[in-house]
A and B are shown apart, each in its own frame.
Chain A
């Protein structure tokens, strides 16, 4: 297994390299730059700025320089936040997104798995219908509709929470709830589908025939296979949750990393775009590897290859 993990980690290096290269040239081949977006800067100052950040050098040199500093773990200086490096910005903002994301993930797993498993076990009863419609609501009411509505009801009309900000522990309740609910909906649907598939199989009938209790059938025999679809969904989903959601962080005015993904693109903050994309890709790669390992553990038919 260790060999499998090591080989997969080695394989990720070319993937990350492709991502860095594609992103680097994509953002550079388009007209405009970090200092042309706003009001016109006098040409002398522009030249100085470009010289300061090395933007006056040939593109291929800039690319090689970037790769060189990347090899040392240095993501370069930000163009928008003067005197700050991309490393500092990420170190500053990622913890907020992580905290919110972990809380949302706990909510999503607790709600989603319970709803999905109960719905599958009590198929075609009112419990199933209730849980399935709950999942449908989570999927069809996007966060940018649900978020403002939740703020409207719980913060503005009822005054239970602050409408926005990140100051007290209470402030993470509403955003984590909205973020968690959406993922809970997908998890519930996948868990229900996966469990239904497994519960129809022969080995479950065998287990029942041998007199295993219903709880034992579900938790000991069915759960392993039934959760496979959820596990493969969780790879990219967890990466998305933990690196921050732009919509949630905008609606609730949170100082997280999710907003930087979008604002850096608007600001043409080249290094910050590259830094956030690379961070996200790293999360994806590592979590997909974790998913593959968990899948083999859950399903003995699969092997590390």
Chain B
């Protein structure tokens, strides 16, 4: 698997003072990743965007500030990206929206990651009847028209979630959570859709690793089962998981934006990039900037995530996740 593991075995024994340390899989990957200009560009853009969304609102014009008399104005020195029809600064809205969009992307991917990895690892490790039962279930869920199910869930769970919001409002220490029930629903709904592929990938990895010669060697050497799992199986299964997670985030963000486009995203006055794009698309005939800037930033983020994901895939040389 790892060329350097073999190499370190072949090092001349006569190396005088210090034996050259082998590079770990991750150090190798890091080296290769740094050489990939597109991936570095993607990573840099993401860091800048994340920092801007996290701290930008502290400096930009307040999110709630609106000048109704101003109305929608094109980009100017005072409002770099213009204002919307209510006279709110578009840049501030994009930065605030980015918080929600990036958060949904990250957290929903983590939900998918957690479910997918545990499910796939158990199925792959235990094997046998349990494995085939678990995988049949995944097959059945795959056949369901899942986007439609997410839409149904979002429509039908709207009222229970509003009640949850009202319940939050009753307690002062929970009041800050008001309005977040919709986001919570988004996490769960999206996470529940996206774990399937992850489960398949992890199971496949564990299955193939179980048969690898180095695992056999480890067994022959008498290593404990725990050491084999944690020291040898998990690190080797991690590559595809990392790669696929990076590629899940843009998919999740797309799904969130799509739901927002249907009017199922976060509620006003909160906004995500999806709701901004929806608003912009409705008003683009007169106010082009309301569509172009949110759409542009959103696409730029997806570009960066995909470039980074592709770069990681090449750097870790993951075959399983290849197109």
Q: Which residues of A contact B (CB under 8 A)?
A: 15, 18-19, 22-23, 26-27, 30-32, 136, 139-142, 144-145, 147-149, 151-152, 156, 189-190, 192-194, 197, 229, 246-247, 251, 261-262, 265-266, 268, 273, 276-277, 280-281, 284-285, 288
Residues of B contacting A247 with CB < 8 Å? 258, 261
Residue pair B145, A140 in contact (C-beta under 8 Å)? no
Pick the residue among A139, A251, A262, A276 that contacts B306 (CB under 8 A): A139
- The answer to whether A144 touches B152, judged by C-beta atoms less than 8 angstroms apart, is no
Known interface pairs A30-B156, A148-B281, A148-B284; A281-B258 also in contact (CB < 8 Å): no
- Which one of B153, B291, B298, B307 contacts A149 once the chains associate, using CB atoms below 8 Å? B291
Interchain CA distance A189-B262 in the complex, whole Å: 28
CB-defined A-B contacts under 8 Å, sample of 28? A18-B140, A19-B145, A22-B144, A26-B149, A26-B156, A27-B156, A30-B156, A136-B307, A140-B299, A142-B258, A144-B277, A145-B291, A147-B281, A148-B291, A148-B295, A149-B295, A152-B284, A152-B285, A152-B288, A156-B285, A193-B323, A197-B322, A229-B323, A247-B261, A262-B262, A265-B148, A277-B145, A285-B143
Asked if B155 is at the interface (CB within 8 A of a chain A CB), the reply is yes
Residues of B contacting A261 in the complex (Cβ-Cβ under 8 angstroms): 148, 151
Given A26-B152, A32-B159, A280-B145, also A136-B140 (CB < 8 A): no
| Residues of chain B having any CB pair with chain A under 8 Å | 140, 143-145, 148-149, 151-153, 155-157, 159-160, 250, 254, 257-258, 261-262, 277-278, 280-281, 284-285, 288, 291-292, 295, 298-299, 302-303, 306-307, 322-323
A53 to B152, CA, bound (A): 21
Other A-B pairs beyond A19-B144, A262-B151, A265-B156, 10, CB < 8 Å: A136-B303, A139-B306, A141-B302, A142-B254, A148-B291, A152-B285, A189-B323, A194-B323, A246-B262, A262-B262
Q: Is the Cβ of B143 less than 8 Å from the Cβ of A284?
A: yes
A19 vs B145: C-alpha distance in the bound complex, in angstroms? 9
| Complex interface: chain B residues within 8 A of A276 (CB) | 148
Find chain B residues with CB under 8 A from A194 CB.
323
Q: Is the interface of A mostly helix, strand, loop or mixed?
A: helix
Q: Are B143 and A142 in contact (CB under 8 A)?
A: no
A136 partner residues in chain B, CB cutoff 8 A: 303, 306-307
Chain B residues with Cβ under 8 A from A140's Cβ? Answer: 250, 299, 302-303, 306
Complex Cα distance A140/B38, Å? 15
- Considering the complex, give the chain A residue whose CB is closest to the CB of B145: A280
Q: Give chain A residues whose Cβ lies under 8 Å from the Cβ of B298.
A: 142, 145
Chain B residue numbers with a CB within 8 Å of A192 are: 323
Per a CB cutoff under 8 Å, which of A144, A190, A266, A268 touches B281? A144
Q: How many A-B residue pairs have CB under 8 A?
A: 105
Q: Which chain A residue shows the least CB distance to B285?
A: A156
CB-CB nearest in chain B for A151: B284
Contact B143 A19 (CB under 8 A): yes
Which residues from chain B contact A266 at a C-beta distance below 8 Å?
155
Q: CB distance B299 to A141 under 8 Å?
A: yes
Contacts of A280 in B (CB 8 A): 145, 148
A193 to B181, alpha carbons, bound, how many Å?
41
Cα distance, A284 to B149, chains bound together (Å): 15
Give A280 to B281 CA distance when docked, in angstroms: 28
Residue among A144, A152, A192 with max Cβ neighbours from chain B (10 Å) = A144
**Contact partners of A277 in chain B: CB under 8 A:** 145, 148
CB of A244 to closest CB in B, whole Å = 12
- B82 to chain A minimum Cβ distance, whole angstroms, is 16
Q: Nearest B residue to A163 by beta-carbon distance?
A: B285
Bound-state Cα–Cα, A152 to B295, Å: 14
Among residues of A, the one whose C-beta sits closest to the C-beta of B319 is A197
Most chain B CB inside 10 Å of its own CB: which residue of A148, A262, A288 = A148
Question: CA separation between A142 and B157, bound complex, in Å?
Answer: 26
Given contacts A140-B302, A144-B258, contact A27 B281 (CB under 8 A): no
CB atoms of A144 and B257 under 8 A apart: yes
Q: Given A136-B306, A140-B299, A145-B277, verify A152-B148 contact (CB < 8 Å).
A: no
Q: For A288, what are the chain B residues with a Cβ–Cβ distance below 8 Å?
A: 143
Contact A251–B281 (Cβ < 8 Å): yes
Shortest distance in angstroms between B149's beta carbon and chain A's nearest beta carbon? 8
Instruction: Decide: A152 and B302 in contact? CB cutoff 8 A.
Output: no
For the complex formed, measure the closest distance between the CB of B158 and the CB atoms of chain A, giving whole angstroms.
9
A30 to B261, CA, bound (A): 23
Assess whether B257 is in contact with A142, with CB atoms less than 8 Å apart: yes
A277 to B295, CA, bound (A): 30
Say whether, besides A26-B152, A265-B151, A273-B152, A141 and B295 are in contact (CB < 8 Å).
yes
Q: Are the CB atoms of A281 and B302 closer together than 8 Å?
A: no
Query: For B258, what are the chain A residues with a Cβ–Cβ distance below 8 Å?
Result: 142, 144, 247
A19 to B153, CA, bound (A): 15
CA distance A171 to B258 in the complex (A): 24
Complex-state Cα separation, A262 to B154, whole angstroms: 11
A276 to B140, CA, bound (A): 19
A149 vs B257: C-alpha distance when bound (angstroms):
16
A265–B284 touching, CB < 8 Å = no
Residues of chain A with a CB closer than 8 A to B144's CB: 19, 22, 281
Partner of B322, one of A142, A193, A262: A193
Interface centre among B149, B250, B277, B323 (most CB of A within 10 A): B323
Cα distance A103–B148 in the bound complex, in angstroms: 24
Closest chain A CB from B195 CB (angstroms): 17
| B155: A residues at CB distance < 8 A | 265-266, 268
